[in-house]
Amino acid sequence: MNITLEGKTAFITGAARGQGRQHAITLAQAGANIVASDICQQIDTVPYSMATRDDLDETVALVEETGQKIVALQADVRELSQLRHAVDQGLVSFGSLDIVCANAGIYSFGPIDSYDIEPQRWNDVISTDLTGVFNTIKTTAPAMIDGGRGGSIIVTSSTAGLRGLRSMADYTAAKHGVVGLTRAFANELAQHRIRVNSIHPTGVDTHMVTNPELAEFYAQFPDMADNVSGNLLPVELVEAQDISNAVVFLASDATRYVTGLQMTVDAGFTTKV
């Protein structure tokens, strides 16, 4: 299938590295211009190193290599004013908004019992992974409606949005929550020809999963590794490109009548018994 997104603009949160960066590159390869945002700073309760402005600049360079244009801004999805500024800058640069990837997310790990999660960690995860998705849609949907061209909103959930994962009730609650947002906004935005779908990856080979801090945690508690392993297909982790392929598909006219879907790219993780 030859997918083209020429003449379209995609807004992506969490674009400095990992899945977000690959989404930016892959959407650009299909012809879209990119508005990329990322917090580019550390959140204290996140145990692994988060992306930096240098990482976001690298995303810019990689997108520009495709021949497409990109605007990149630091923006915290927890802050509506920062997201509004990023959206406004994207509209100034490209004049329209057609695709939204609500991708930004964080998680933490340990203690092994979720009732021991500290309140600040809970607040950080929920405000980033759930409220951040709401804020992203809240700030982008009006621009898509005003554009009158319809469009596609793609929400990054997780297998944790379909199953309960141990030691991370905060992440699991947030990722279940964005399924509710997906379904609600699919109903509300359909009249504007805006489709809203969620993607549910298994463990992806990015720093968020392969960081040394998580490896140390699993070495200490090996039975916890089932949170990101135990796939039905014989692969431990999928690649970011595998998720980006689904993003491009959902962004394209090939799925013009697909909305409210929970698409798994999970190597059978949620099917395995």
According to DSSP, residue 7 is labeled: T
- Rounded distance between C-alpha atoms, residue 71 and residue 53, angstroms: 13
Written as one letter, the residue type at 182 is: T
φ, ψ for residue 27, nearest 5 deg: -65, -40
* Phi-psi region at 165: left, alpha or beta (left = phi > 0; alpha = psi -120 to 50): beta
Strand duo 194-201 + 151-156: pairing? parallel
Which phi and psi (to 5°) does residue 265 adopt?
Answer: -125, 70
Q: Active site includes 171? A: yes
CB atoms within 10 A of CB 74: 15
Distance CA 262, CA 161 (A): 9
Report the distance separating Cα 136 and Cα 19, nearest Å: 17
* C-alpha gyration radius of the chain: 17
Which one is catalytic: 48, 107, 115, 171?
171
CA angle 68, 71, 77 (to 5 degrees): 130
Helices 169-189 and 119-129 pack at an angle, to 10 degrees, of 30
* Residue entry with tokens 């508690």: 221
Q: Which residues are catalytic?
A: 171
